[in-house]
């Protein structure tokens, strides 16, 4: 369920972000529509006095099943201020993913105990056989070593799987939290862009009255304002969609008013060297332990079949399983090392993109300012100014996205040297 939800959130984010980019082709939205859709979620720091009770708020209905239904897109309820650390603690405390991880850990312990009981039964039977002096022809001790190996693996792998599931849960929490923050940034950028377009329209109208620009420039500026309004509406819709998804992921009511306390800031590059990360990954990753266990089991099984004819299907299958396990065991360290190296390169690539994006925003902002000044004195056209504004708008969006991807890349690299985020099979 958690995986499905996280996938859904990602799709919603993509749809929201895509709508922001391509909304410039829509020109039919009005300022009234913008106000109706943006005011509710942008002012997320509203005081509790502004939040009416469910009984007093006419925009809220309560069904017979006690499900609160908000009749518009206003996020309601007592405001919840949530830091990233708070979000992670909440997920650990009461999320379905955390509960499932704990159940899986208990199940692994049960499997280990089961193997242990089987081993003990064999020991007890052998003891009784020795004490009585009678041969127990039904006693099979050939799999005793396998049972002991299974017990040892299940006991050790259960906690490792739990850590992997917690890593995955933390990654999902960080991803959803920062995705929501990134969409909040998109809304702010879209509103700032709209303000620039409205200022340009005002200046163009004044210049037209003074007779320094043609009526066509005014009409073009009006179209740009309408497009900017559409972009702002699309950004707000994307944010509202992500807010609902985030609330559902966190276990809140769908329209709960949640304020994210943390912002997306450039974090430091991981100080863990690539060599150290690879060394730790080869010692810790579940893929390595699972491959080694599979190799051990196939060899032990093959040993129990020594009496079988080499041409029998049973022996041939066991032999093929052992050969495949040997191949997987040899490839597992290479696969893990490849993963660590890839995440290391990705982290540095995203870090470079952040530096480039930061500089691009600074340059684009200055270019927009200069274009506006030149337009005011008649040394640039309206198209020049709009081009500079578009460049500034896109640069801000790219930088916001780069920050999100970089922060996640740092986390992915650091987690790559632990047990990872994938659980090993325990039978």
Higher pLDDT, 385 or 55: 385
Q: Is residue 75 part of a domain?
A: no
Q: Which helix (H) or strand (E) holds 406?
A: helix 382-415
For 116-167, write each residue's pLDDT tens digit: 888 888 777 777 767 676 656 555 666 788 889 989 999 999 999 999 999 9
What's the average model confidence in pLDDT over 241-257? 93
- Distance, CA of 304 to CA of 290 (rounded, Å): 21
The answer to whether the Cα torsion of 218, 220, 226, 228 is positive or negative is negative
Q: Which domain holds residue 121?
A: 2-36+88-415
- Find out whether 343 and 413 touch, Cβ atoms under 8 Å: yes
User: How far apart, in whole angstroms, are the C-alpha atoms of residue 173 and residue 90?
Assistant: 10
Q: Which residues contact 362 (CB under 8 A, 6 or more apart)?
A: none
Counted domains in the chain: 1
For residue 108, tell me if it sits in a domain.
yes
Residue 130 forms part of a structural domain: yes
Looking at residue 62, the DSSP 8-state letter turns out to be E
Radius of gyration of the chain (CA): 31
pLDDT in tens, 326-376: 999 999 999 999 999 999 999 999 999 999 999 999 999 999 999 999 999
Q: Confirm if 54 and 62 have CB atoms less than 8 A apart.
A: yes
pTM to 2 decimal places: 0.75
Instruction: Report d(CA 280, CA 178) in Å as an integer.
Output: 28
51 falls within a domain:
no
Do residues 187 and 180 make contact, with C-beta atoms less than 8 angstroms apart?
A: no
Residue 62: is its pLDDT beyond 50? no
**Measured distance CA(265)–CA(238) in Å, rounded:** 21
Higher pLDDT, 44 or 414: 414
Burial class (CB in 10 A: 0-12, 13-18, 19+), 313: exposed
3-state secondary structure of 99: helix
Measured in whole angstroms, the distance separating CA 323 from the mean position of its chain's CA atoms is 37
Beta bridge partners of 81: 259
Contacts of 338 (CB under 8 A, 6+ apart): none
Question: Which range (28-37, 181-190, 203-212, 222-231) has the least confidence?
Answer: 28-37
Q: Return the CATH number at 391.
A: 1.20.1600.10
Q: Is residue 47 part of a domain?
A: no
| Residue 62 placed within a domain | no
């Amino acid at each position: 369920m958690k995986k499905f939800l996280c996938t859904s959130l990602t799709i919603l984010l993509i749809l929201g972000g895509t709508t922001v980019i391509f909304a410039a082709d829509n020109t039919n939205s009005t300022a009234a529509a913008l106000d109706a859709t943006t005011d509710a979620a942008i002012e997320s720091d509203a005081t509790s006095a502004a939040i009416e009770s469910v009984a007093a708020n006419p925009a809220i209905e309560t069904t017979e099943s006690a499900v609160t239904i908000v009749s518009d897109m206003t996020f309601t309820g007592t405001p919840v201020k949530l830091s990233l650390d708070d979000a992670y603690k909440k997920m650990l405390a009461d999320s379905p993913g955390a509960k499932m991880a704990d159940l899986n850990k208990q199940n692994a312990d049960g499997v280990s105990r089961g193997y242990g009981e089987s081993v003990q039964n064999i020991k007890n039977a052998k003891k009784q056989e020795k004490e009585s002096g009678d041969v127990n022809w039904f006693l099979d001790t050939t799999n005793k070593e396998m049972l002991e190996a299974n017990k040892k693996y299940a006991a050790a792998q259960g906690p490792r799987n739990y850590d992997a599931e917690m890593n995955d849960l933390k990654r999902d929490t960080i991803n959803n939290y920062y995705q929501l923050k990134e969409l909040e940034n998109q809304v702010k950028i879209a509103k700032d862009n709209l303000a620039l377009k409205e200022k340009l329209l005002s200046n163009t109208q004044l210049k037209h009255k003074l007779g320094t620009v043609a009526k066509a420039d005014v009409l073009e500026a009006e179209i740009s304002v309408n497009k900017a309004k559409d972009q702002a509406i699309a950004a707000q819709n994307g944010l509202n969609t992500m807010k609902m998804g985030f609330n559902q992921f966190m276990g809140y009511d769908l329209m709960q008013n949640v304020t994210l306390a943390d912002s997306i800031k450039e974090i430091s590059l991981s100080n863990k060297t690539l060599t150290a990360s690879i060394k730790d990954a080869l010692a810790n990753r579940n893929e390595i332990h699972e491959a080694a266990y599979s190799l051990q089991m196939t060899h032990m099984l093959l040993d129990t079949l020594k009496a079988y004819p080499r041409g029998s299907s049973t022996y041939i299958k066991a032999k093929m399983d052992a050969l495949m396990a040997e191949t997987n065991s040899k490839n597992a360290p290479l696969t893990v090392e490849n993963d660590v190296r890839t995440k290391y390169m990705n982290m540095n690539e995203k870090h470079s993109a952040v530096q480039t994006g930061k500089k691009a925003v600074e340059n684009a902002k200055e270019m927009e300012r200069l274009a506006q000044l030149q337009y005011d004195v008649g040394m640039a056209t309206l198209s020049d100014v709009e081009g500079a504004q578009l460049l500034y708008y896109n640069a801000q969006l790219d930088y916001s996205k780069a920050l999100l991807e970089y922060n996640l890349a740092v986390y992915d690299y650091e987690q790559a040297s632990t047990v990872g985020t994938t659980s090993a099979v325990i039978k």
